[in-house]
Amino acid sequence: MKAWRTAMRVAATTAALLVVFAVLGALMMPRWRSEPYTDHIAVASADTAIAANPAAMPASSPSADPAPSSFLADHQGTYRTRERRISVHLEDGGSVPAILREPIGAPGRRPACLFVHGSGTGAADDFGDIANAMSSAGIITLVPAKRTDDYTPLHRDYPRFARDYGTALDLLKLVPGVDTGRTGLYAESEGTWISMLMTEHRHDIAFSILSSAPVYKGREQMAMAVSAYVHQSGAPGPVVKDVAKLMSLDFAPFDLRYADFDADDARDSLTMPVLVNYGTYDTAMPIEQGARTIIDTAARRGNRNVTVRYYAANHQMRAGKGLFAPGLPLADGYTRDLSDWVNGVAAGTGAEGWSTPLIAGAAPDQRYAAPTDTSSGIIGSLGVLAGLTAAALACFAAVVCGAVCFGCAELARRRRIAAMTGSPGRIRARLPIVNRRLRARTDTTGAWPGTSRAFVRDVGYSRGLARLMACGVAVSCMMLVALAAYLSYVGVSALYLRRSPAMMSAGFTVLRVGGVLCMILCAALIVRLAGAWRVRRAYLAHGLYPTAGLHSTWLVGRWHWMVALLALAGMLLALVVMAFWGLFSL
């Protein structure tokens, strides 16, 4: 009957904990979620070729050398190129290497283009195929290396990068043969934020090429990208929703402030001709939503000369779906279109002067929309989440240390008693009943040894309570490790586009079952500790155990209580972390 009552108490406590942590998990959900994108762009043609209408060219000065219309005759492969390695001396005294490529034999002053690196590139040798192809069309190109002395996954100073690239742009304008009025920027991915900072502070940039542009704040773009990647990898719905929780957190405690880089103000600077390029296989970028935003933002500033091209390409504008697959060729026609567009802009082509559509290429299909609001739930900081996890592990570490100390103390106590009473001192040996001065009591036929304050034989945990605590701590630790491993697996699968929905669903189900097991163990520990507290309170108050039928002389001492409460606190903190990741969502 007693076992039945205990089981009922454990079941009731488990149910209460389940409700509490389910509600807590719901409160941790942000007030937004990644929504499917529905405002799709219709391309006017599948052909990405770009051409200007010579008849629409504005009248030029007779003294112009060369005549602006002559740029339209220069296409990829028209000129041989030469390459020079130079150094760019930066404002703060440092320097970076750079590669300057020039067309050989191109007449007069030429258009020029500075390349701005994204997060995946940084060397002067990068962009070699693109820069050389553009140079062969009569465009002088400069690819400076990106400074990486203060560039880490946790910290990126975009204003400083903008100043560095601004210095490189000034150097490019000083190169003999460069037409300073026809000099612009080519930027990829993260580099488009830098290029927009440059156009915000400078008014001498003739054109801007934005390839694989995130367009929005890093947090908003990452929320869309991670949702798309995780869904594409086959993760179950609750895991996709958990992405929203993670992306809504404040990353500042880890110096990830660049996630909140304000791209909205920088977009207003796109008053020059703009070419927007996206790969339709790029699920990391807002390939339709971003293009629409750039078009609308530029139009509000009076700029309608925005050309958009979609290629069957990945994020690096390479002909393949893999994110990091090496050796992939550039998308078909990509460098041809870049060269023809720059030469068209150099010839003075306006929004109405193109003979090809402003929006063309492969049909895009953006799955998720980048959210405009990323407010968090009750946990608003990544530091808080990390702190909860660290606190749980610290509690468990303290429990292990306490258990070791208690074991050593118990072994020493048994050896002292054995030496004084002549009994064997083995750890499992049954010792005689002793009083508080460790003197053996020979007359034990009277009172039950647990009924007198002077004759408590064992201060510590009963075997059942010790096993319950050990199981609770071990299972909670394993759950935290398993949760981290599962999330890492989902992240790697999403990053490398490895689809395994069956394994991910099975793994999440196992995690949820493990979470419920942790909750049952936590409830059982609460019930057992409540009973142990009643025993201790009665003993301290009256010197008696409350139940005559209690077949144990174990009394939980003050230090044992501290360790037990640490174990309980660690388990509860672990349950909070599990609730954050949706293991108890209904």
* β-sheet bridge partners, residue 208: 185, 274
CA-CA distance, 288 to 284, in Å (whole number)? 12
Task: Report which of 275, 344, 347 is spatially closest to residue 311, judged by C-alpha positions.
Answer: 275
For the chain, how are helix, strand and coil distributed in percent, rounded to 5?
45, 15, 40
Contact 352, 51 (CB under 8 A): no
CATH code reported for the domain at 54-103+111-217+261-361: 3.40.50.1820
Of 345, 343, 277, 336, give the one whose Cα is nearest residue 133. 336
The residue ranges of every structural domain in the chain are 2-34+381-580, 54-103+111-217+261-361
Q: What does the chain come to in residues?
A: 586
**Tokens 């072994």 label which residue?**
411
Tokens matching residue 525: 């520990």
Point out the residues of the chain with pLDDT beneath 50. 425, 427-457, 544-553
Closest CA to 240 of 18, 506, 29, 21: 29
pLDDT value of residue 87: 95
* pLDDT of 556: 60
Q: What pLDDT, on a 0 to 100 scale, did the predictor assign at position 566?
A: 94
Give the pLDDT confidence score for residue 439 in this predicted structure. Answer: 47
pLDDT of residue 452: 40
Which pLDDT score is estimated for 181?
Answer: 93
d(CA 143, CA 437): 84
Concatenating the DSSP letter of every residue in 505-532 gives: HHHHHHHHHHHHHHHHHHHHHHHHHHHH
So what's the pLDDT on residue 253? Answer: 64
Q: What is the pLDDT of residue 374?
A: 76
Residue 543 has a pLDDT of 52
